[in-house]
């Protein structure tokens, strides 16, 4: 049985990637692995001596878990017709996604996520994954109204 890995951060591009990955998994009888990555931004540490007062990294993990649950809700009925596994991991997104796709037949990503610059056609995570993944990579753009 083959595996399709999709990165999901709840951005419009990630939702489009999830839809694409689910269709491909259904068409090919593949398992679907939905991966949500979280990390503690450097700004969270006060002058390099520890976390800023009031900062709790566990909150970031909880948001990531809620995001992964949201991915299953987005899939609706397809989630019941597929073998779907969700993984929530801490780390740099590109590194984690490449690692998660090491045994996969396909890695599916949105063209850009929630961070960075809105005008970019291709975000840094998608670009790094396309350069370093050991399997084919599909990068999906969200449909936008013009």
In this prediction, residue 78 carries a pLDDT of: 76
Determine contact, residues 19/12, Cβ cutoff 8 Å.
no
* Residue pLDDT, tens place only, 69-115: 888 888 887 778 899 999 999 999 999 999 999 999 999 999 876 55
State pTM to two decimals. 0.85
Does position 7 have pLDDT exceeding 90, yes or no? yes
Residue 132 to residues 18, 77, 117, 127: CA-CA distances in angstroms? 21, 33, 22, 9
At 24 the three-state DSSP class reads: helix
Contacts of 71 (CB under 8 A, 6+ apart): 8, 10, 18, 34, 36, 86
Q: What percent of the chain has pLDDT above 70?
A: 82
How many other CB atoms are there within 10 angstroms of residue 125's CB atom?
A: 25
* Residue pLDDT, tens place only, 13-53: 999 999 999 999 999 999 999 999 998 776 666 656 666 66
Contacts of 49 (CB under 8 A, 6+ apart): none
In this prediction, residue 140 carries a pLDDT of: 94
CA dist 86 and 108 (Å) reads 14
């Amino acid at each position: 049985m083959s595996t399709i890995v999709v990165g999901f951060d709840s951005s419009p591009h990630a939702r489009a990637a999830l839809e694409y990955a689910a269709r491909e998994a259904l068409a090919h009888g593949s398992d679907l692995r939905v991966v949500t990555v979280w990390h503690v931004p450097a700004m969270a540490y006060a002058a390099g001596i520890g976390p800023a007062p009031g900062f709790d990294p566990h909150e970031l993990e909880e948001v990531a878990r809620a995001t992964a649950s949201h991915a299953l809700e987005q899939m609706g009925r397809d989630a019941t017709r597929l073998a779907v596994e969700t993984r929530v991991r801490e780390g740099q997104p590109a590194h984690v996604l490449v690692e998660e796709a090491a045994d996969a037949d396909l890695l599916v990503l949105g063209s850009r996520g929630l961070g960075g610059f809105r005008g970019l056609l291709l975000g840094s995570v998608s670009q790094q994954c396309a350069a370093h993944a050991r399997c084919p990579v599909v990068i999906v753009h969200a449909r936008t109204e013009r």
